[in-house]
Amino acid sequence: MELSSRITNITGGGSDGWGVFYKARRMIDAGINVTELTIGEHDIRTAPDILRAMYDAASGGHTGYAEVPGTASLRRAVAARIAERTGVPTTADNVLITPGGQAALFAAHMAACNPGDTALFVDPYYATYPGTIRGVGAMPKPIVTAPDTNFEPTADAINAAAPGAKSLLINTPNNPTGVVYSDTTLGAIAKTCQDHDLWLISDEVYDTQVWQGTHTSPRALPDMADRTLVVGSMSKSHAMTGSRVGWICGPEAAINHLITLATHTTYGVPGYIQDAAEFALGQGIEVEEAVAAPFRRRRDLTIDALAGQNAVRAVPAQGAMYVMLDIRATGLSGDTFANALLDAEHIAVMPGESFGQAAAGHVRVAMTIDDDAYIAALNRLIQFAQTQIK
Ligand code: PLP
């Protein structure tokens, strides 16, 4: 039987960019000791008190169908958190609870784009972005950035891409680059969205992981709340990746339609997971800071380790759990470097090319193992890079 082109074309026919990751997994299965610095998963697990809240909710009976838009109290808690952090008046009616940020990204594009519409996104990008856009039947169009602007999109590039597009997807703090967009960049993005009548889809799943500068939600910029759909998640902020709980925040009319979409797709998020998320949010900012602290520490260790050599340069690591390393001095592509590093040193990092053409000649390192092992692996990566320079 023939399958729909919509589903068979999700990856666009190309590689999914996870070749090094799969190769590392095969090596691990074969008993080889590989240092894994590939995926964005904390090296801690969800905190015991959050798990207890989940257990208490489930054993208290919250195991039936939950309210599809999210429980009223979790929607209120998310709205209060957003209002407090951004200053934008936000109520539960502006919030839909989703099974993680990924489902929110898909739903946001469903809300913004008709089949065949052009949806913009910034290259380098989180690996699922183009596929998510294709999945809703829209056409992904990258705005290619450059290392010399630290991978922030320029006003010229955004404006050049905008005519005829329906939406623009941005991510700050950024995966894979670790860059936090400046107010100038966000101002240019907001202006282009207004000039070209675009929806702005703002992926803010790393908003609690900022090491330098400040995170501004573009929904808070003048006249942006009506055209911005913010994607949020408990995955990164509270080490709850496996719980699959996140949200979309946007105009009430959009949220109402997104609730209809949820009714016909996910049918919501389990009630005991939502109760645990509400409990976690209620624990305040200290919990988020504690989850973020190891990445902040390792980011500082990274800067120290890279000092005094020229083989590897870091893109300024301002936020998120990754550091993007420029290895162009070796003359290798990110893909060749990552494969050779895996073969020679048994260290797995993601080639920059997995995240689009802009990050060619780079590798992304996830700071997701304990400090000593992380620094030992980084030092070996640097030494390996030095041996590659002709
Ligand atoms: N957005 C970005 C930029 C990410 O890096 C991720 C996960 O790594 C997600 C969204 C999806 O996160 P989740 O679906 O776990 O909330």
Which of ligand 1's atoms lies nearest the C-alpha of 234? Answer: 16
The strand pair at 199-203 and 165-171 is best described as parallel
Which of ligand 1's atoms lies nearest the C-alpha of 203? Answer: 1
Whole-model pTM? 0.97
- Residue 137 Cβ inside 6 Å of ligand 1? The answer reads no
173 C-alpha to center of ligand 1: Å?
12
List, by residue range, all CATH 3.90.1150.10 domains of the chain. 5-45+286-388
- Residue 38 Cβ inside 6 Å of ligand 1? The answer reads no
Does the pLDDT at position 214 exceed 90?
yes
User: Which CATH number among 3.30.1330.10, 1.10.3720.10, 3.40.50.1370, 3.40.640.10 corresponds to the domain 48-284?
Assistant: 3.40.640.10
pLDDT in tens, 292-345: 999 999 999 999 999 999 999 999 999 999 999 999 999 999 999 999 999 999
List, by residue range, all CATH 3.40.640.10 domains of the chain. 48-284
Beta strands in the chain (DSSP E): 35-36, 95-98, 118-123, 139-144, 165-171, 199-203, 228-233, 246-249, 313-314, 322-326, 347-348, 350-351, 362-366
pLDDT in tens, 119-160: 999 999 999 999 999 999 999 999 999 999 999 999 999 999
What's the half-sphere exposure (Cβ side, CA atoms, 13 Å) at 240?
A: 31
Rounded-to-integer distance, Cα 356 and Cα 341, Å? 20
- Residue 241 Cβ inside 6 Å of ligand 1? The answer reads yes
Residue nearest to atom 8 of ligand 1 (CA): 40
CATH superfamily of 5-45+286-388: Aspartate Aminotransferase, domain 1 (3.90.1150.10)
